[in-house]
Amino acid sequence: MTCDKVPAQIQREMHNLLQEYMKSKTNKQRREFDSEQEIMRDINRCDSDDEDDPNLVMGMRHSRMQQQFKRDRDMLRRRSSNYEGGSCSGVPRMNRSFTVREGGQQRGRDRMYEPVSTPASRLRAVEIDLEKNEKVKRQRKINTSGLNRQKKKVLKAFGNWIIDNNQPFAAVNSAFTNPLMNVIRETSVDVRAPSAYELAEVYLPEECRLMNEYIGTFAKVWDERGVTIMSDGWTGTTRMHILNYLVYSPCGTIFHKSVDVTNVSSRNVDYYFSLMKKVVEEVGPDRVVQVVTDYEAATKAARKNLMEAFPHIYWTPCAAHCIDLILEDIAKKSSIKDVISQAKSISSFIYNSTWCVKYMKRFTNNRGSCGLASLDLRQILCR
């Protein structure tokens, strides 16, 4: 049925447009049907073919399912969309507003009467499962609040131990701090801290035994190249006098022993000779090449007795002690003695006042009084 007022040319054009639309719609439906059939054939072929690569098959199946799912989703959206005006797409005209409730019911009816065995419904179910698996694979964020609380507990425990034992805070920088924490984590919760008796009577002897075994590994080098015994005297603020004996070799310097000579009334030549002879015998006379001691009168006289007892051993005075004695003799000269006296007076004046020390460090780059050696005193006084 046509209108007589419409020209024939316009009618022909409208007829051609309508034919083209119906043809394109038919082609679209045919392509969708062919795609569904191809997906079904691929699914059946992948299930029955065991010789193909399983990873490739699953990848192709997942890609086709995603494409088909997108096409079905677009179709459902177009079918559930409503417009207030009419259109040439065949969607019915809506004369009033389309409520959410009616839209939900309409979509519900579309889903209700959709067969569950169609490829589209199967693909949607597979896509939902894939999305769920993807959510499970996501890495969970670590909750750092618990770690912060645990670290605060450890910090408080370390702080209480340091303060109660009057230890410097730098003690936690020891190389054995983290190994200690690792051992504590590995042991059971019922293990308590060792007592002072266990440390002194159990741990210390065992550690000495291990150290002696370690020093014993140097025996071969000592036999081949020999060693040097070094003696060093030390006097503390309480007038306690200690003699330390060290053994030097290409393997390094090790501590041999200490001797407390505070209560020895007569530290003469015979006494020092007996000490050095005993140390040489403990290390081994065949291993000792030379003995190094200070340049005091008693030890200097004892060297003769030592070289007579062991003709292959050489005695060498300590170079640092010799330089110290040389500087003491230089300081006894009157011209040098006055300069040193003035320097001591300036140093005492500076270090008796805190503000003066801070003022001095402004000109010595935060160094002590040794920085005054390279600084002209007039630079300070002129400012």
Q: How many residues does the chain have?
A: 383
Based on the domain organization, do 68 and 118 belong to the same domain? yes
In a domain, 269, yes or no: yes
Nearest one of 63, 62, 72 to 36, comparing CA atoms: 72
pLDDT digits (tens, 9 = 90+) for 332-366: 888 888 888 888 888 888 888 888 888 888 877 77
Out of 133, 152, 170, a domain closes at 133
Give the span between the Cα atoms of 362 and 364, in whole angstroms. 6
Mark whether 232 and 347 lie in a shared domain: no
**Token match 């030549």: residue?**
269
Residue 206 has pLDDT above 90, yes or no: yes
Question: Is the same domain home to 31 and 59?
Answer: yes
Tokens of 67: 């494409």
128 with 17, same domain: the answer is yes
Range of the domain at 224: 212-325
With H, G, I as helix, E, B as strand and everything else as coil, classify residue 136: helix
pLDDT computed for residue 105 by the predictor: 45
Closest CA to 261 of 271, 247, 270: 271
Structure tokens that stand for 383 in this block: 């400012």
Pair 291, 344 in one domain: no
Residue 193 lies in a domain: no
Give Cβ neighbours of residue 234 (< 8 Å, ≥ 6 apart): 241, 242, 243, 244
| pLDDT: which is higher, 209 or 77 | 209
Is 155 within the bounds of a domain? Answer: no
Q: How many other CB atoms sit within 10 Å of the CB of residue 287?
A: 19
pLDDT value at position 248? 93
| Segment 72-97, tens digit of pLDDT | 777 766 665 544 344 444 444 444 44
Residue 19 covered by a domain: yes
Do residues 27 and 112 share a domain? yes
The whole-number pLDDT of residue 280 equals: 92
Query: What single letter denotes the amino acid at residue 48?
Result: S
Q: Does some domain include residue 247?
A: yes
Give the total number of structural domains in the chain.
3
Buried-exposed string 205-235: b where 16+ CB fall within 10 A, e elsewhere: eeeeeeeeeeeeebeeebeeebbbbbbbbee
In a domain, residue 191? The reply is no
Q: What pLDDT score does 92 carry?
A: 42
The string over 108-143, giving b where at least 16 C-beta atoms fall within 10 Å of a residue's C-beta and e elsewhere, is eeeeeeeeeeebbebbbebbeeeeeeeeeeeeeeee
The verdict on 271 and 378 lying in the same domain is: no
Same domain for 339 and 289: no
Is the pLDDT assigned to residue 14 strictly greater than 50?
yes
Is 218 within a domain?
yes
Residue 204 forms part of a structural domain:
no
71, 39 contact by CB (below 8 A)? no
Residues 300 and 247 in one domain: yes
